[in-house]
Amino acid sequence: MTKTKVMNWLQKNTMILILVLVVLFFTWQTGGKILLPQNITNLIAQNAYVFILATGMLLCILTGGNIDLSVGSVVCFTGAVGALLMATGMNMWLAVVVMLVIGLIIGGLQAFCIAYVHVPPFITTLAGQLIFRGLSNVILNGRTQTVSIQAFKDIFGGGATCYVPDLLGGNGINLLCIVVGVLACAAYLLVTFRNRMNRAKKGYSLEPIVPVIVRSLVIVAVVMFVMVKMAQYKGIPSALIWVVLVVAVYAYITSKTKMGRYLYAVGGNEKATKLSGIDTRKVYFFAYTNMGFLAALAGILTIARMASAQPTYGDSYEMDAISSCFIGGASAYGGVGTVPGVIIGAVLMGVINLGMSVMGIDQNFQKVVKGAVLLAAVIFDVVSKQNESK
């Protein structure tokens, strides 16, 4: 490859390389403890809310670097409502539907203010952050509400048995986990190279085959490594299923649908998008309504994992989601970013949290490190934009 192609490849895969280096660093510093099967499983289960919220936050950021500051409070509020409803004897599935509907309504109200009343997203969602944090305290009366329905905790990732049972009867290792990993890798390779062949038939420009093969082998190796580690513990946590479902759906929306193209168009040039006949108000409405829905889903996973609802839940969740997006390659100016990139950013933040926790680093210093990583990611984005414009 030429020097230019090498530089382009490095720029596209910067965060993947950084993630690998960070994992190697913490593996060295912790004596390999960070790669223990239980720690890897906990990394996924404990950060499920980050993956989900970051996926929704990406839609908001794509519209022009906008963010949603209310998601942590919405997580707390919807979780509190669900916990109280289940405590009164309501069927857990009906309670789940109620929580999701509340999230949609909240997202829709904020989306209406942003899209049709033209209140800036920062102000609208800041107001939502204060309102729903306050309402959470009011309905919980400042107390903890326990969640006792075991089936709810198992299905949404909070119970002691919240793992997919090994239907293949592995002895000491979860064979189902291994099989799922192999099938997932096979599906990824099939889709990747089929898309490449389709582009070749249509005469589109193609990325050099060597980087494609290298990237595919790295992804397959990482997936199988994680699946083997989980198989050595208890298998696939149920929270991972919800994360994969959300990531798959929204990756499809952003890459294969008209609304996905509109999101990128609005972030790239909103005025030009309007002139082309696209109703940008609907694009904003879609992005922020979806954010409310995903915040409610994150609320469900949170109270399931914690087996309770508290007025403090969801605190700083919005910061984790925003950080994951920018670290994962989303542009502070909007119009740039992908769901897979956001997931890489979320994994990187999770690895940093886990690594520092295993090392026994103070929580306050952990915040300093995460802030520095976020600032570095945004500086990298800004400098890259400046270089491209020259």
pLDDT digits (tens, 9 = 90+) for 88-142: 999 999 999 999 999 999 999 999 999 999 999 999 999 999 999 999 999 999 8
Q: Say whether pLDDT at 22 is over 80.
A: yes
Q: What's the mean pLDDT when you consider all of the chain?
A: 88
Quickly state the pLDDT bin for 197 (edges 50, 70, 90). confident
Contact 247, 339 (CB under 8 A): yes
Distance CA 222, CA 91 (A): 39
Q: In the numeric block, which tokens belong to residue 129? A: 């952050």
- Amino acid identity for residue 374 in this structure: L
Mean pLDDT of 156-161: 69
What is the helix (H) or strand (E) element at residue 74, kind and residue range? helix 71-87
Q: In the numeric block, which tokens belong to residue 144? A: 């903890």
- Cα end-to-end span (Å), the chain: 24
Nearest alpha-carbon partner for 165 in 152, 149, 150, 180: 180
Contact 353, 114 (CB under 8 A): no
Nearest alpha-carbon partner for 156 in 48, 61, 266, 228: 48
Q: Say whether pLDDT at 55 is over 90.
A: yes
Report the pLDDT value the prediction gives residue 160, as an integer from 0 to 100.
58
Beta strands in the chain (DSSP E): 145-146, 308-309
- Amino acid identity for residue 222 in this structure: V
Report the pLDDT value the prediction gives residue 23, as an integer from 0 to 100.
87
Distance CA 14, CA 1 (A): 17
Quickly state the pLDDT bin for 19 (edges 50, 70, 90). confident
pTM of the model: 0.90
Nearest alpha-carbon partner for 318 in 135, 61, 80: 61
Mean pLDDT of 279-303: 95
Task: Decide which of 316 and 12 is more confident.
Answer: 316
Q: In the numeric block, which tokens belong to residue 152? A: 């709810």
Nearest alpha-carbon partner for 348 in 369, 365, 334, 363: 369
Report the pLDDT value the prediction gives residue 334, as an integer from 0 to 100.
86
Does residue 237 sit in helix, strand or coil?
A: strand
Report the pLDDT value the prediction gives residue 336, as an integer from 0 to 100.
86
Distance CA 101, CA 268 (A): 31
